[in-house]
Amino acid sequence: MALDGILLYKLVPKIQEILPARIQKIYQTSTTEVLFQLHTHSGKKQLLISCHSMYNRLLLTNRNYPTPFEPSNFIMVLRKHLEGSIIQSIEQIEYDRWCQMNITTHDMIGDAINLTLYIELMGKYANLILVNEENIIIDALKRIPPFENNKRTIQPGAQFKPTPSQTKKDPFIEQIIDPNQTLTSQFSGFSPFLSQEVEYRLNHSQTFSEIMNEIKESDSLYIANDKNEAVFHCIDLTSIGKTKSYPLFEGLEILYYHKEEKERVKDISGNIYRVVKRELKHQKQKLPRLLSEYDAAVDCDRWRKYGDLLYAYQIKDTKGKDSISLFDYETEKDIIIPLDPKLDGNKNAQKCYTKYGKLKKGQQYLQEQIVICEKEIQYFEGLLEQLELADFETATEIRQELIRGGYIKENHRKKQKKKEEAPKVHQIQYDEHTIVYYGKNNLQNEYLTFKKAKKDYYWFHTKDYHGAHVVVDTKDLDEEIIRFCANLAACYSGGRNSSSVPVNYTTIKELKKIPGAKPGMVQLNHYQTIYIDPSFEQLEEYGINL
């Protein structure tokens, strides 16, 4: 669900309050997100503009957003023209889903010039367009050439044409409702969802002017769940039922930060998903072939018997024949022996013995390869599950792990090598005397279990699923702590949507690192098992959002 014009009407004045502001830095946090670091009269602020087709929004944020390794061409253009400039104002046009940011800067000789940054938040057409004083497009986040849209070209050098006016009524002034038309078609800024909520209220003895006044006075975002989809607006969603209320910008962050983070991980972390899926597909295709070859190798004794029979019957003339039928006195049945038509009887017998020897020796090799292949499948399945819950830092560490494993080639363009940092381990202050640590990927799990944790710390991990290593530093391991740690391990595992997930737990001193194994693999000596139904609500109480 994307924001509508009425909600944008509530956001724009909040941003206007901090203006004028100087643009200090500009970053592109994903292919559709641009982050402006501002210096305002009230200190440093961050303005995030997202042009995602589903999650487009405009807000002030305090969160730390990761940045890509290299800025895009559009970001370089924005930096060239806007860094150091002053945002004078921001205004919305007719409650539509677009607004314009008026900016003053200086040209090469120091003369003041005015630029306009148009922010269009219209679903799949969401865009950022930088325009000069002559109304000529300097550049845009999403370029639209003439052959795609001859009515509105978005290209550097083209004349900028604003989004056409919808000529609808102002809902804060004209409040006469035509019962023969939908509210969306009558009033500017109304989305189908807001219309649904307003119509519900109108049918429950509330007037249109009362509803619009409530919208005007609201400073909150109300979020509810409707058919497993998050819905929201700036008034209480009485048509849906139970809602949660947040400050406007905070509510938008809660709604979209983690949803778009997966998009951000894919954008910033390069080809992680593609590499993992490619390797997993390769190993899954390889395993049946290995099993088939192993079955053939196990059946190697028949080739020795073929050779024995060819010698026993003193078969000489086999040239030109593809096979021969000989009676086997052990089974008292005829056996058809495949032949090489180019060879005589003795050489065909020797070929059968050679094949027997190769298959006999190959059994051990194939067994080893099958074990390796099965481990690789488990490994890449585990990486995919980790990527499902990964934030940017976690995904970056997974990328480093794939580089070390030789699955991704490292970029050697940067000659200076940074000192390798320890993987980031997450922690929760469970109570005054108890700290719970957990890892989100193999490198974090490895570091937490074998380097950070002490021998008397307790360790938790799901029994039948890939997942997080959970370590607790406590002197009193009671049932409440055990259940919390087991729930954390289950929620950060492949069994997070299952029930009665088995979780093993023991002390660190009972763990042993497996030589030559992938990072995070351990061997348990003595342990106990608890069965837990994963509860995400319990983790939300500690600020963890999955």
Q: What is the mean pLDDT of residues 401-405?
A: 88
Amino acid in position 334: D
The proportion of the chain whose per-residue pLDDT surpasses 70, expressed as a percent, equals 96
Check: pTM over 0.75? Answer yes or no.
Answer: no
Q: Is 513 helix (H, G, I), strand (E, B) or coil?
A: strand
Count of other CB atoms within 10 angstroms of residue 339:
24
Q: How confident is the model at residue 282 (pLDDT cuts 50, 70, 90)?
A: very high
Q: Which DSSP string do the residues of 321-342 spell out, in sequence order?
A: -SEEEEEETTTTEEEEEE--TT
Q: What is the DSSP letter of 418?
A: P
Residue 524 in tokens: 């348990």
Dist CA 189 CA 233 (whole Å): 12
Dist CA 127 CA 155 (whole Å): 12
pLDDT value at 328 more than 90: no
The secondary element (H helix, E strand) that includes residue 257 is helix 248-268
Q: How far is CA 534 from CA 276, 398, 439, in A?
A: 27, 25, 17
Residue 11 in tokens: 């956001």
User: What pLDDT shows up at residue 360?
Assistant: 87
pLDDT value at 415 more than 50: no
- Per the CB < 8 A criterion, the answer to whether 466 and 381 are in contact is yes
- Per the CB < 8 A criterion, the answer to whether 231 and 193 are in contact is yes
Beta pairing, strands 127-131 & 137-140 = antiparallel
Question: Which alpha helices (DSSP H) does 319-430 contain, by range?
Answer: 345-388, 392-404
Q: What is the mean pLDDT of residues 462-466?
A: 90
Q: What is the mean pLDDT of residues 63-74?
A: 81
Q: What is the mean pLDDT of residues 210-222?
A: 93
- Per the CB < 8 A criterion, the answer to whether 118 and 139 are in contact is no
User: What pLDDT shows up at residue 412?
Assistant: 56
Please write the tens of the pLDDT for every residue from 429-441: 988 889 999 999 9
**Average pLDDT of the chain?**
89
User: What pLDDT shows up at residue 242?
Assistant: 86
Strand partners, 244: 223
pLDDT value at 2 more than 90: no
Least reliable range by pLDDT among 94-108, 170-184, 238-252, 389-403: 389-403
Q: Is 443 helix (H, G, I), strand (E, B) or coil?
A: helix
User: What pLDDT shows up at residue 124?
Assistant: 86
Please write the tens of the pLDDT for every residue from 96-143: 999 999 999 998 888 899 999 999 998 888 999 999 999 999 999 999
Dist CA 373 CA 370 (whole Å): 5
Amino acid in position 115: L
Q: What is the mean pLDDT of residues 7-33?
A: 93
Phi–psi pair at 456, nearest 5 degrees:
-95, 5
